[in-house]
């Protein structure tokens, strides 16, 4: 996860300003509807492609990566 600087842990997100609500001081991390868990490689049942999601790292869906 360290290869993408936009991926952060929920604890690290608490130290960042919210991109969705500028007047809100902190990022709510996984409690925000804009939060997206980082995609990783791995088989997902019922799909032909390799897609799974991290349970430790994510990013704000409102911030371009």
Burial (CB < 10 A; 0-12, 13-18, 19+), residue 27, is: buried
Q: Which residues of 1-65 form beta strands (DSSP E)?
A: 35-43, 50-60
pLDDT (tens, 9 = 90+) of the chain, 65 residues, equals 556 667 899 999 999 888 888 787 888 999 999 999 988 766 656 666 667 788 899 999 887 65
Of the candidates 62, 24, 56, the residue with the CA atom closest to the CA atom of residue 39: 56
Chain centroid offset of residue 28 CA: 11
What token pair was written down for 49? 């492609």
């Amino acid at each position: 996860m360290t290869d993408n600087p936009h991926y952060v842990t929920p604890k690290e997100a608490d130290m960042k300003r919210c991109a969705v609500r500028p007047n809100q001081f902190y990022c709510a991390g996984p409690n925000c509807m804009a939060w997206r868990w980082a995609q990783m490689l791995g088989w997902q049942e019922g799909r032909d492609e390799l897609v799974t999601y991290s349970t430790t790292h994510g990013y704000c869906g409102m911030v371009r990566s």
